[in-house]
Chains A and B, each alone.
Chain A
Amino acid sequence: MNNDKRRGLTLLIVAAALFTFAWVSPGGTPAFAQTGQKLYSDTKRSLPEFNLPIPQDQTEKDYLGLSGKGTFKIGQIKAQVVIIEVFSFYCPICQVQAPLVAEVYQKIQGRPDLKEKIKMIGIAATNSAFEAKSFKETHHVPFPVFPDEEADAAIALDVKYTPTFIGVRVDGTGSQEQFYWLPGAFKDSTKFLEEILKTSGLE
């Protein structure tokens, strides 16, 4: 083999090896998960830590069981389970999905045995405060929504595509264990809630 051929072959092999390495995240999860594929749904893992601002609105504070100012972590929400929807104002699926997500919230609020146990929040990935507020108002999102303009939370959660739904078990003292991960939309709010109840151990 002459030098040119050998160099070309080496380049090909090394590039393929490095690209394969880059394609797979450190946790072994494909960096580009398929819509509807549930990753982590059967796997316990500690939710990566990130901070969100404590809402100024008292109703939202009361809903999440938070007080004061500053920031909070998901594990500090007063509940047993937190459903996080990572969405974007600019995401067509998120726009279509919004009524179904609101249905999940209404179903939880309509059940006295669940409304204190399950809380929902939205994280507006790459959206400014204005854009997140516009989404909340346009689609009548009934739960607190947090802008994530620099995608700090999305990066911490490794959410590359919206919407992504994440289920987290919490105890109000800081523990935050991820038990559910749905990249992509769901079609049935009842089935989605059933999955959350089942996989969280609440039912």
Chain B
Amino acid sequence: MGWKGSLRKSITCAVIVVIVLSSGVAYGQSAILRDAIYPVGKLAPRDSSPILKVGDTAPDFTLPSIEGSKVSLRDYRDRKNVVISFVPAAWTPVCSDQWPGYNVSKKLFEKHNAMLLGITVDNIPTLYAWTRQMSPDKLWFPVLSDFYPHGAVASRYGVLRSSGESERALFVIDKKGTIRYIDIHDINKRPRLEDLARALELLDKQ
């Protein structure tokens, strides 16, 4: 290949590199974690095969929380509805916004007698540091680590991606332990709060 061919190929590669590096730029993101957020770029919207459906019994699990205790899904049986929010990873875009929104929406969850459980595949120290950046006070809901065995709960819920992160997914589970709503969302986008609010309202009608 001659010099011109080499240059042309190099420019093409460079343009691709720049597009990939620039694709993480978004508008209106929270500034609080701005300098700490890893720019993941645009990812495949979903990278797993659903194995659960509405009406199934939610798989039970026990995971360590950043507060030092262990939390099991069965702890809430017959007492509270449960919303499980899987987010892909700490220190990444979208995830770093999603939970702060839920943190100020406590009343919405309380209104429907629901507990929120936040789960990622990160380890406890990472989750502790990340969530402490989200609020001057600790988050009101348990933050659980699905780190080891890696992504075991995400896998049982059918939301573990081939990269080892989980999908951005919401499961609404009623007091009987039955799944009433599933949103395995485009990983690049934040689920709208009103969609979850509607799912919670449906619980009241059952």
Binding site for B on A (CB under 8 A): 3, 6-7, 10-11, 14-15, 18-19, 22, 31-32, 35, 86, 88-96, 125-126, 128, 130-131, 134-135, 138-139, 148, 151, 154-155, 159-164, 183-185
* B105 in contact with A134 (CB, 8 Å): yes
Q: Mark B178-206, 1 if CB is under 8 A from A, else 0.
A: 00000000000010111001000000000
Chain A residues within 8 Å of B9, by CB: 7
* B101 in contact with A7 (CB, 8 Å): no
Chain B residues within 8 Å of A96, by CB: 136
Docked CA distance A32–B15 (Å):
21
Chain B residues within 8 Å of A86, by CB: 28
Docked CA distance A15–B10 (Å):
9
Of B1, B9, B29, B190, the most chain A CB neighbours within 10 A belong to B29
Chain B residues within 8 Å of A163, by CB: 31
A-B interface, 8 closest residue pairs, ranked by CB to CB distance from nearest: A125-B28, A91-B30, A90-B97, A130-B194, A161-B31, A90-B101, A15-B14, A14-B14
B17 within 8 A of A: yes
* B100 in contact with A95 (CB, 8 Å): yes
* B135 in contact with A92 (CB, 8 Å): yes
A160 to chain B, nearest CB (A): 6
Known: A131-B101, A138-B104. A11 touches B31 (CB 8 A): no
* A22 in contact with B22 (CB, 8 Å): yes
Chain A residues within 8 Å of B26, by CB: 151, 160
Docked CA distance A32–B29 (Å):
11
Chain B residues within 8 Å of A154, by CB: 27-28
**In-complex Cβ contact of B10 among A14, A139, A148 (8 A):** A14
* B6 in contact with A91 (CB, 8 Å): no
* 8 Å CB interface, B146-194 against A: 190, 192-194
B21 within 8 A of A: yes
B116 to chain A, nearest CB (A): 15
Chain A residues within 8 Å of B97, by CB: 88, 90-91
Interface size band for B: 35 or more
Docked CA distance A158–B72 (Å):
44
Known: A89-B104, A90-B101, A183-B31. A7 touches B10 (CB 8 A): yes
In the complex, besides A10-B6, A159-B27, 4 extra interface pairs with C-beta distance below 8 angstroms are A22-B21, A88-B28, A128-B193, A160-B28
Known: A11-B10, A19-B18, A95-B100. A126 touches B28 (CB 8 A): yes
* A134 in contact with B6 (CB, 8 Å): no
Chain B residues within 8 Å of A126, by CB: 27-28, 190
**In-complex Cβ contact of A18 among B7, B14, B135 (8 A):** B14
B70 within 8 A of A: no
Closest Cβ neighbor of A18 among chain B residues = B18
**In-complex Cβ contact of A90 among B3, B30, B108 (8 A):** B30
* A148 in contact with B28 (CB, 8 Å): yes
**In-complex Cβ contact of B27 among A18, A95, A151 (8 A):** A151
**In-complex Cβ contact of A93 among B3, B32, B190 (8 A):** B32
B112 to chain A, nearest CB (A): 15
Chain A residues within 8 Å of B133, by CB: 92
* B28 in contact with A162 (CB, 8 Å): yes
Chain B residues within 8 Å of A134, by CB: 104-105, 108, 193
Chain A residues within 8 Å of B103, by CB: 92, 95
Docked CA distance A96–B25 (Å):
24
**In-complex Cβ contact of B31 among A93, A95, A130, A138 (8 A):** A93
Docked CA distance A161–B22 (Å):
16
Docked CA distance A161–B29 (Å):
5
